[in-house]
Amino acid sequence: MIAKGLVGEGNHLHILPEIFRQSLPEAIRSSIQIAAIGGPSIAGELADRRHTCITITGSQAANLEAIAAMLRTPYYHIWPSLDMIGVEVSVAMKNIYAVGVGFVYGQLEKQGIGNIHNPAAAVFAQGLRETAYLVEFLGGDLRSVYTLPGAGDGFVTCQGGRNMQIGRRMGQGMIYREAIAMYKPNERPEGPPLAMAIGPTVREMIECGKLDGNKLPLLCKLIDVFIDEQPFEIPWDAFFG
C-alpha cells in the first residue's frame, strides 16, 4: 500500500490497511499479507535516482525482507518495520501538520517578515509530539514517529510539498476554496481532506474522554479551520503540555 490516510468511524480511528483487510472476502482475509511503505520520498527526486530512504511495514518480518530485497537499488534504501500502526499514523498525520507549518510561513510573509524559521520549527515539533500521542494511543511504536515515517516524511513535506503550500496560501489570506482551486484534481493536498474526514471522530473521542484534547491543541485548531472555517491562530500556550 502506498496510500496515506486514516478513517474515522464513530469514536474509533483506523489505519487504511485495516479498512482494506476488512473489505476482503472473509475466506481469504486471513491469508492475505498487507505491506505498506512510508518515508520521505518525493517522486521527481526518486525518478532522478537521488538517494531516498523509506520504511516498509507489515506483520511478517520474512515477507518484508523479501519485498525489500526486490525493491532495493543503490539509491532506494529500505528498512523493514513491524510497526504498521506507527508508520501509517505518522505518514498520514504529517500531511495535516505540514498545513500548520505552511500557515505560519504565510501569515508572517503577509506581514513582510522574512526570518520565520523559529515559529515554523515550533509548530513542526508540536506536530511530532501530537503524532506521538496518537501513535502511542493506537498501540504503535514511537520509533516510527522520530524516524523516517514521522520526522523524515514530515520534514520533506514542510520543505514545499502541496500540504505546506496550501497552508502558506491560506496564511497569506486565501480561503480554502480559493486555495484548493489552484490545484489540479490529481495534485490536491491530502491534509485538509484528512482533517475534515477524521475531525468529527477526533472531536467525539475527546468529548467521550478517549482522547485528551489538551494533548492535541494544534490538531484541534486545524480541524476547526477546515470544518468550521475558523481563522488559524497558533495556540502557543497550549503547546508541549
CATH number for the domain spanning 167: value is 1.10.1040.10
Residue pointed to by grid coordinates 476547526: 224
- Enumerate residues 6+ apart whose C-beta is below 8 A from 25: none
CA gap 129, 123 in Å, rounded = 10
Residues 142-159, buried b or exposed e (16+ Cβ, 10 A)?
bbbbebbbbbbbbbbbbe
In a domain, 63, yes or no: no
Domain range enclosing 99: 6-35+84-238
What 3-state DSSP class applies to 131?
helix
In a domain, 59, yes or no: no
Instruction: Identify the pLDDT of residue 94.
Output: 97
In a domain, 178, yes or no: yes
Instruction: Identify the pLDDT of residue 188.
Output: 87
How many folded domains does the chain comprise? 1
- Under a CB-based contact definition with an 8 Å cutoff, are residues 6 and 84 in contact? no
- Under a CB-based contact definition with an 8 Å cutoff, are residues 94 and 41 in contact? no
Q: Interior CA angle at 9 toward 5 and 11, to 5°? A: 115
Instruction: Identify the pLDDT of residue 32.
Output: 87
In a domain, 205, yes or no: yes
Q: Give per-10-residue mean pLDDT for the chain (241 aa).
A: 91 94 89 92 94 95 94 97 97 97 92 86 97 98 97 93 92 88 86 96 97 98 93 93 85
In a domain, 171, yes or no: yes
In a domain, 51, yes or no: no
Instruction: Identify the pLDDT of residue 241.
Output: 85
CA gap 196, 19 in Å, rounded = 18
Instruction: Identify the pLDDT of residue 187.
Output: 83
CA gap 43, 101 in Å, rounded = 22
In a domain, 163, yes or no: yes
In a domain, 160, yes or no: yes
- Under a CB-based contact definition with an 8 Å cutoff, are residues 62 and 177 in contact? no
